[in-house]
């Protein structure tokens, strides 16, 4: 639980200007002063101020101070690691911030609390693994993916795996996309906040060697969407529900 503005301890009430000393130390990467302050005021480790961009842990992540992140994670409970920064109404966890660019920080936090994997910034519909994908950190994506039960990525749990598949296709991570589709073929047509992965892929012409050939489409669709092979199909249509215009693919 976050401590806002002040807290009562044996050493007395901490005022906002005193918190500034802590956040200044964290942002400068001063580990000694950070730990010194937290030794005197233990509850300050979850302090969130209007100008603070979240807790000291959020700030350590933002400013890239790995050693301070490691020390703060050791000091915090699993529940405290789930604290979100409150400014601008965004529910960012420290892991969501770290997933954008720092695998070491990610491993440090996830090792202590795997529940962090499922905490999303709801306004953006992005979980930590999706932030990693959005920022092109596929090493972090694959690490987080190895820890997430696949049932938590199924369409009935939300649009998150559909988004992950779309990011894979945008980034031409086709081996990863193929693995997702093998495990859940219906992801191809599962809508997310933007559009379904199949429409995403249609918008990436550079994925096709000739930019016009549909040979990859043939391979992909036959493997991802059930087709009655007993019928002669010379021309068929795939209707993607709630996606706007009908997508027509001929010659398969």
Q: pLDDT (tens digit, 9 = 90+) per residue, 76-118?
A: 999 999 988 754 445 899 999 999 999 999 999 999 999 999 9
pLDDT at 114: 96
CA distance 122 to 114: 18
Distances in Å between the alpha carbon of 115 and those of 5, 111, 147? 27, 10, 11
Q: Is the pLDDT of residue 229 over 50?
A: no
What tokens does 20 get? 């500034």
Predicted TM-score of the model (pTM): 0.75
Structure-model confidence comparison of residues 151 and 16, the more confident one: 151
Q: pLDDT (tens digit, 9 = 90+) per residue, 32-66?
A: 999 999 999 999 999 888 778 899 999 999 999 99
Structure-model confidence comparison of residues 243 and 200, the more confident one: 200
Query: What one-character-per-residue DSSP string does 102-133 give?
Result: -HHHHHHHHHH-GGGGG--BTTTTB-HHHHHH
Q: Give 207's contacts (C-beta < 8 A, 6+ positions apart).
A: 169, 172, 174, 201, 216
Q: Give 23's contacts (C-beta < 8 A, 6+ positions apart).
A: 49, 52, 56, 59
What tokens does 117 get? 């994997």
Among 28-32, 45-49, 177-181, name the most confident range: 28-32
Q: Is the pLDDT of residue 181 over 60?
A: yes
Confidence of residue 152 (pLDDT cuts 50, 70, 90): confident
Confidence of residue 248 (pLDDT cuts 50, 70, 90): very low
pLDDT at 14: 62
Please, what sign has the CA dihedral across residues 175, 180, 184, 187?
negative
């Amino acid at each position: 639980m976050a401590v806002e503005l002040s807290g009562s301890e044996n050493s007395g009430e901490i005022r906002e200007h005193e918190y500034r000393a802590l956040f200044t130390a964290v942002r400068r990467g001063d580990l000694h002063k950070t730990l010194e302050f937290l030794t005197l005021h233990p509850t300050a480790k979850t302090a969130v101020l209007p100008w603070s961009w979240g807790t000291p842990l959020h700030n350590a992540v933002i400013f890239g101070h790995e050693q301070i992140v490691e020390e703060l994670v050791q000091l915090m409970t699993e529940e405290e690691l789930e604290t979100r920064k409150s400014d601008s109404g965004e529910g960012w966890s420290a892991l969501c911030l770290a997933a954008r660019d720092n695998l070491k920080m990610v491993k440090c936090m996830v090792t202590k609390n795997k529940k962090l994997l499922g905490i999303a910034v709801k306004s953006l519909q992005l979980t930590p693994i999706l932030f990693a994908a959005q920022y092109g950190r596929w090493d972090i994506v694959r690490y987080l993916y190895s820890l997430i039960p696949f049932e938590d990525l199924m369409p009935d749990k939300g649009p998150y795996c559909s988004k992950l598949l779309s990011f894979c296709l945008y980034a031409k991570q086709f081996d990863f996309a193929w693995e997702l589709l093998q495990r859940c073929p219906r992801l191809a047509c599962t809508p997310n906040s933007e559009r379904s992965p199949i429409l995403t892929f249609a918008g990436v012409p550079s994925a096709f060697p000739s930019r016009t050939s549909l040979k990859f489409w043939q391979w992909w669709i036959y493997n991802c969407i059930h087709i009655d092979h007993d019928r002669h199909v010379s021309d068929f249509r795939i209707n993607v529900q709630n996606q706007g215009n009908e997508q027509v693919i001929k010659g398969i």
